[in-house]
Structure 1
Amino acid sequence: MQLYNTLSAEERAVLIDEAGKQRLTLSFYAYARIEDPKKFRDDLFLAWNPLDVLGRIYVAHEGINAQLSLPADHFYEFRDTLEAYDFMQGIRLNVAVEQDDHSFLKLTIKVRDKIVADGLNDDTFDVTNKGIHLKASEFNDMLNDPDTILVDMRNHYESEIGHFVGAIKPDVDTFRESLPIIEEQIAEHKQDKKLLMYCTGGIRCEKASAYFKHKGFENVYQLEGGIIEYTRQVKAENLESKFIGKNFVFDQRLGERITDDIVSNCHQCGKPCDTHTNCANEACHLLFLQCEECAEAMHGCCSVACADIVQLPEAEQKELRRGIQKGNMIFKKGRPENLTARESLEILEPRSKSQEPRPKLRKSYLGKGVHYFPKAGIGQFLIVEGELKVGDEILISGPTTGEEILTVGELFVKDNPTNPAQVNDLVSFKLPFRIRLSDTLYKVLR
């Protein structure tokens, strides 16, 4: 009886492409009393593995927290597996703002002490005594109330790339750090202010709202479904988005764009940038913000030391990594004051010491990746600036894709041949490789 993932991420990616099925990325949570989390965990794996569910799921005595993807045509079968449990009947499923078939590449279900680590050891704390949930329109209205205190319950690397205007954004690495900091900061307003909180999908706010009620705050509210559900309601009801920038997500995408605002800066050169990446040195793998120019100059690394390592032969890199436990670094998020590279960019060697450095490519921005159709081998892009013509030389660039240069063949808009493709067109054309939502489309200027 298989109870654990047996395929590598690379093997799973190939199977996803070969299947050619569109996948849904979604998340959900539920606080409940689970008597036997280990049995619950195993039952979920046995139910979900045959449905090709992939993701990162935590279960504990206090409930379940799940971020996952599954083939769209298995959605109703999957929902039935949830409805089998009383505490998940009618549960809200937060569908991702942006979809990527490769958002998750393994099914990992882990038993934890808590589904949200809070550092609390208080038997009198009732996590189910939560605050009042607000829909997007109600949330916007409350933001206009001068007696409202708005708090971002996420970590610094999340709020850095996107947030609600006017929110208190604690400079913390973990949720457990934020609770005492926020409590001290707003301690004088337990009765006279409305405490309004938000997070990615609602799970942290649910616990935080119960915590602040436990601490004596009388008017506690939270954004229902978090930023993900807020964005869906804003689009469906044509509301003004009070959230600006990107929403950080804990999967391969690392972020989904909510508005065109770029509210953060490259941690190395300081230019506007909201693209998270992991250091290319596998013995480091630090998460930080890096613009395209610094990614090229630093070879995708966070430091000169790491950039030197990734240019070594693979056998030497493996030897240097031997015995290093990198987990702490992977989850230690970079900060700009530690990663400035302005003085380091010029001293790096070319990526391959057997080749001359490639001259800087002249290019103009066209748009961004929207979708890839594996069976047809077709990529779809949204044209944001300029126009794209048959015969144009283009560059497709992204953290996973790297840099691919090719000449455009036939162009299609709404399944009809077109030439040229213009601003706001969703244009499709054949590609010999898959694209991702993080990919950017440029026209090469010779």
Structure 2
Amino acid sequence: MQLYNTLSAEERAALIEESGKQRLTLSFYAYAHIEDPKAFRDSLFVTWNKLDVLGRIYVATEGINAQLSLPADNFYAFKDHLDTIPFLKDIRLNVAVEQDDLSFLKLTIKVRNKIVADGLDDATFDVTNKGVHLGAKDFNQMLEDPNTIVVDFRNHYESEVGHFKGAITPDVETFRESLPIIEEQLQDYKEDKNLLMYCTGGIRCEKASAFFRHKGFKNVYQLEGGIIEYTRQVKAENLESKFIGKNFVFDGRLGERITDDIISQCHQCGKPCDNHTNCANEACHLLFIQCDDCKASMQNTCSTECLEVIQLPVEEQKALRRGVNKGNMIFKKGKSDKLSFKKSGELPDVAIATAPKPVRARIRKTLIGKGEHYYPKAGVGQFTIEQGELKAGDKIIISGPTTGEQQLTVESMRINGNEGATATAGDKVTFNLPFRVRLSDKLYRVLQ
């Protein structure tokens, strides 16, 4: 019985690209009593793996929290399976606003103590005494009430790129940090104010609303289905979106656009930008906002120190990381004194730029090889051709988790050290590149 992934992320990405099948990204959660979370986890993995489900799922005695993707062709089979589980029958599935076939590249189902790390002792209050759920229309109306206080229960790196107008946006890195901060900030408004809360998909507010009712807040409301469901209802009912900017998501996309408003800046140069990236230095991996110009000049790194590190041979980079206790000390979410234009806490409601309309044309391509090495002084990338052929003048795409997707034309190249015009399987090819090549990069030839 297979209970683990057999393919690497790169191999999975190549298979998805070659299949040409559209995938759906979706999420759901449910609080329910699960007597044996491990057995439940194993049964989900066996069934979902057969349906080509990929994603990040947490299971605990208190329920399930799932973010995943699957082939659109398997959606109804997946839904049928959910309906066989009593507490998941007819569960609302939050389908992503923007779809990306590569949002997830492996299936991970983990057993946790809780499905959301809230730091609360559930035995001390009634977790079922939740706030009133509001749909998009009612939520908009309550936002207009001067007696309403709206609170964002997400983290600083989420709210920075998008939030509801007028919302309190705590400067926190985790959900558990926000609860006491908001309680202290609003302690004088327990009786006479409407406490309106929201998060990405609704799960954080399920527990937070019950906690605040327990703390004496009389009028507690929460956005049903979070920002994802709100956006769907806004489009379906032709409502005004009170949410501006991007909705941060915890998959390969790192965000989905809700409105054309850009309300944040590149953390390195200050240019209007709301695209998150992870530092290419594997010993850093800092999450931050980076524009295309800084991405090119800094090669996806957050600082000159990290830029210098990624120029080193891979084995030397590994040696520098060896024995280092990473954890939260390294994987901080967007807080660094190197990022001059980082903003958090009180955030603006006014756009500083408008996002360009995306051009979505599906490019036909075929996988022909993989990245081997990059020579920074010469600005040359090396690849191994594994199948098919590459000719001078071909349009190619170099794609990888850190590199992104770069398209260019091979004007000239060297094959096995000599100038040549056509490379075939087994050949080592080199050509000039304005960006770094990594071992995880795949080489595609664009089909005419």
Q: TM-score range by the shorter chain?
A: 0.7 to 0.9
Counterpart among 401, 404, 411 of residue 401 in structure 1: 404
Paired residue type of 1:131: G
Instruction: Kindly state the Cα deviation for residue 89 of structure 1 after the two structures are TM-superposed.
Output: 1.3
Q: Report if the CA contact (8 A) 2:260-2:356 is conserved.
A: no
User: Could you tell me how far apart the structure 2 residues matched to 1:71 and 1:126 are?
Assistant: 39
TM alignment of 1:169-248, pairs within 5 A:
169-248=169-248
Match of 2:370 in 1: none
Deviation at residue 325 of structure 1 after TM alignment: 4.1
Distance 1:10 1:162 in 2: 30
Corresponding residue for residue 313 of structure 2:
313
Partners of 1:30 and 1:87 within 8 A in 2: yes
Q: Is the 8 A contact 1:20 1:375 kept in 2?
A: no
- The residue aligned with 1:152 is 152
With over 3 angstroms needed to count, the CA separation of the structure-2 counterparts of 1:20 and 1:235, relative to structure 1, is: same
- Percent of residue pairs identical: 72
More displaced 10-residue stretch of structure 1: 144-153 or 14-23: 14-23
- What is the DSSP-based 3-state SS (H/G/I as helix, E as strand, rest coil) of the residue aligned with 1:127? coil
**1:71: which partner in 2?**
71
Partner of 1:372: 362
Q: Per-residue displacement from partner, 1:155-214 (whole Å, max 9, x unpaired)?
A: 000000000010000000000000000011111111111110011000001111111111
Q: State the distance in 2 between where 1:337 and 1:259 align.
A: 30
Q: Distance in 1 between matches of 2:151 and 2:196?
A: 6
* Alpha-carbon separation, structure 2, partners of 1:433 and 1:112: 43
SS at match of 1:123: helix
Render the CA deviation track for 1:250-285: whole Å, top value 9, x for unaligned.
000000111111111111112211110000111111
> Paired residue for 2:272?
272
Change (3 A) 1:25 1:374: farther
Name the SS for the 2:262 alignment partner.
Answer: coil
Partner SS state of residue 58, structure 1:
strand
* Counterparts of residues 22-421 of structure 1 (less than 5 Å): 22-328=22-328, 331-335=331-335, 337-340=337-340, 368-370=358-360, 372=362, 400-406=403-409
How far has the Cα of 1:152 moved from its partner?
A: 0.2
Deviation at 1:395, TM superposition (A): 11
Counterparts of 2:290 and 2:202 in 1: how far apart (Å)?
A: 28
| Shift, 1:337, TM fit | 4.4
- Alpha-carbon distance change, 185 to 245 in structure 1, aligned in 2, over 3 angstroms: same
Distance 1:204 1:239 in 2: 25
The SS at the match of 1:370 is coil
For residues 432 and 403 of structure 1, what CA distance do their matches in structure 2 show?
A: 12
Shift of 1:14: 1.5
Aligned equivalents of 2:158, 2:356: Cα separation in 1: 27
- Structure 2 regions of 5+ residues with no counterpart? 342-354, 368-394, 411-443
Q: Closer, same or farther in 2 for the Cα pair 1:243/1:48, shift >3 Å?
A: same
Structure 1: unaligned runs, 5 residues or longer: 342-364, 378-392, 408-430, 435-446
Instruction: State the distance in 1 between where 2:330 and 2:130 align.
Output: 32
State the Cα distance separating 1:130 from its structure 2 match.
1.4
How much has 1:9 moved relative to structure 2? 0.4
| Structure 1: distance between partners of 2:206 and 2:122 | 17
d(CA) in 2 for partners of 1:105, 1:73 = 18
CA distance in 2, matches of 1:397, 1:25: 20
Distance in 1 separating the partners of 2:334 and 2:295: 15
1:334-383: CA deviation from partner (whole Å, max 9, x where unpaired): 23644239xxxxxxxxxxxxxxxxxxxxxxx9853536366899xxxxxx
**CA contact under 8 A between 1:97 and 1:228: conserved in structure 2?**
yes
- Deviates most, 192-201 or 267-276: 267-276
Question: Could you tell me how far apart the structure 2 residues matched to 1:369 and 1:68 are?
Answer: 25
Amino acid at match of 1:320: L
Q: What is the Cα-based RMSD across aligned positions, in Å? A: 2.6
* Distance in 2 between residues matched to 1:185 and 1:338, nearest whole Å: 30
Pairwise CA distance, 1:59: 0.7
**Contact 2:30/2:63 (8 A) holds in 1:** yes
Q: In the superposition, relative to structure 1, how do residues 48 and 374 fare at CA in structure 2: closer, same or farther (>3 Å)?
A: farther
- Contact 1:287–1:330, Cα closer than 8 Å, also in 2: no
State how far apart, in whole Å, the 1-side matches of 2:406 and 2:46 are. Answer: 40
Bigger mean CA offset, 367-376 vs 28-37: 367-376
Counterpart contact for 1:156–1:173, Cα < 8 Å: yes
The separation in 1 between residues aligned to 2:399 and 2:294, in whole angstroms, is 14
Counterpart CA distance in 2 for 1:66 and 1:308 is 38
TM-score, structure 2 as length reference = 0.78
Structure 1 CA distance, aligned partners of 2:29 and 2:75? 17
Q: CA 1:368–1:155 in 2, change beyond 3 Å: closer, same or farther?
A: same
Judge conservation of contact 1:268–1:336 (CA < 8 Å) in 2: no
With over 3 angstroms needed to count, the CA separation of the structure-2 counterparts of 1:6 and 1:327, relative to structure 1, is farther
Residue in 1 aligned with 2:16?
Answer: 16
Distance, in Å, in 2 between the alignment partners of 1:270 and 1:163 is 20
Are the counterparts in 2 of residues 262 and 273 from structure 1 also a CA contact under 8 Å? yes
- Residue 390 of structure 2 is matched in structure 1 by none
Alpha-carbon distance between aligned partners in 1 of 2:26 and 2:405, rounded to the nearest angstrom: 27
Distance 2:361 2:55 in 1: 20
SS for the counterpart of 1:339 is coil
Kindly tell me: are residues 404 and 330 of structure 1, through their superposed partners in 2, closer, same or farther at Cα, counting changes over 3 Å? farther
